[in-house]
Amino acid sequence: MRFAVISDVHGNSLALDAVLDDIGRQGAEAILCLGDHVSGPVDPAGAAERLMALGGASIRGNHDRWTLDLSLTGSGKIDAFARSQLSEPQLAWLAALPATLQHDDRIFLCHGTPVDDETPWLDQYYCGRTATLPSEAQVTDIAAALDYELLLCGHTHIPRSVRLADGRVIVNPGSIGMQLVRGSPDARYAIIERRSAGWYTTLLAVPYDHEAAARLAAGNGFPQWAASLTSGWVGPESLG
């Protein structure tokens, strides 16, 4: 079993295209998607079109909820922009996505944690420019009720693979569409493979035309996203 895990596309179809092209070279049998698909200033509709065409296992994230219901606390201008770009079939697809999902009996998908799509699991982010791995007890407690070999999460945009004392593995593939304090604008995703010795995780960074993405963001009225899209050095304050 060899598959790709993607998360937090945030409407960046240019980054998504580069990752999908790379996945095609990896021999992955499936693509699992962990939410926050469309909320971003580059190309929400194009990202939705590509993700819908994949037809694989997919869940929603907090920004997907906020895009669907702009009255929710947390919803902002970027979610309203994404909603304005999506067709009715695309909104219906987004609304039909589950909050969590079981895949192949051994794999569990969530966006933040299994019970909350806004709570980070593997990183406590951000205090200024710093993201911190929580304690082993904190990470393990969240996984207590989950009898799966592999647990997948997104939300923090920080790639990380953690192995618990009982052998279970938790993986965050990072973000495809928006890099914060990564020191690179490259799109992030993961390839995971089940071998006889257990789960093998490869965290990848894929270059793409981030300058073009920044121009699209500015043209759509969000020039403040340029620092994140073109460098990856800045923190979330750059998106304000």
Q: What angle do CA 149, 155, 131 make, to 5 degrees?
A: 100
Q: Please tell me the predicted confidence (pLDDT) of residue 55.
A: 87
Q: Please tell me the predicted confidence (pLDDT) of residue 236.
A: 83
Q: Please tell me the predicted confidence (pLDDT) of residue 125.
A: 66
* pTM more than 0.75: yes
Q: Can you give the three-state secondary structure of 58-93, one letter per residue?
A: ECCCHHHHHHHCCCCCCCCHHHHHHHHHCCHHHHHH
Q: What angle do CA 200, 204, 210 make, to 5 degrees?
A: 165
Q: Please tell me the predicted confidence (pLDDT) of residue 129.
A: 64
Q: What single-letter amino acid sits at 1?
A: M
Arithmetic mean of pLDDT, 35-64: 97
Arithmetic mean of pLDDT, 24-36: 95
Q: What number of other Cβ atoms are within 10 A of residue 74's Cβ? A: 10
Strands 150-152 and 130-132: unpaired
Q: Please tell me the predicted confidence (pLDDT) of residue 126.
A: 61
126-173 pLDDT, tens digit per residue, is 666 677 888 999 999 999 999 999 999 999 999 999 999 999 999 999
How many Cα neighbours within 13 Å face the side chain of 23? Answer: 24
Residue 124 has pLDDT above 90, yes or no: no
